Amino acid sequence: SRDVASAAPTATAPAGAGIKYTDIPLTSLRQSLAELLFRAKPTVPHWYFSVDIKMDAAMKLREEFNRALQKDNIKISVNDLVIKATALACTKVPQANSSWQETFIRQYKSVNVCMSVDTPRGVVIPVVLAAEKKGLASISEETRSLALKARDNKLQPQDFEGGTVSVTNVGMIGVTSFPGMVNPPQACMVGVCCTKDILVPDEVSSLGHRRVKMMSVSLSCDHRVVDEEVAVHWLHHFK
């Protein structure tokens, strides 16, 4: 009907009378990313799994590594640990390192981890290639280099190519839950949230409890590729 047609959304939202605004041109990269994500939600059957992970041992290990690497000016971040853990989990559960190809599922030999970097021009997603073969120090140097290039707008096309799984870390701003979108044609996206101090029961402690560091992680999956058994096994190995 005419009323329905008039209510349909238009490509460009009109500005109300007297409202001041600025139109920000889209870069080709931002437009390509927007188109990719626009297709992702309606065409990829998403489902989500979440787990809380005790981080005390990982944080202690990180401190030990950083003390040993201080002379080389290398500082391993929590995100570096997550990228390495993602790669190792994908080697244990290769179904998660795959993509839907309409008539077959493609399983990749290397784990190329996409990492989200926030820049003044928006989020960009460079790739750490073959992360399963690299040590934490190498991953740390590479992620720092990619982040610097991203913020200086110096990433090259090859820096975005070949990703097989994605990691997005929103923990630094205190986010506690993040079921993100899969980045097609990948089958999995790992959403990392903040690490919190919580109290857990402890019969040995005189207080009856102890404080532990807990990090929430969400795994977003393409249901055509990753079923619940695969997702649960992947999260088990990631922990």
Tens-digit pLDDT profile for residues 36-74? 778 778 889 999 999 999 999 999 999 999 999 999 999
Q: Do residues 150 and 124 make contact, with C-beta atoms less than 8 angstroms apart? A: yes
Least confident of 85-89, 126-130, 209-213, 232-236: 209-213
- Which residues are known to be catalytic? 223, 227
pTM: 0.85
Q: Which amino acid is at 37?
A: L
For residue 128, give the nearest of 106, 120, 140 by alpha carbon: 140
Range among 176-190, 200-214, 224-238 rated most confident? 224-238
Give burial (CB, 10 Å; 0-12/13-18/19+) of 127: buried
Q: Do residues 193 and 171 make contact, with C-beta atoms less than 8 angstroms apart? A: yes
Q: Which amino acid is at 163?
A: G
Domains in the chain, please, with CATH? 46-238 (3.30.559.10)
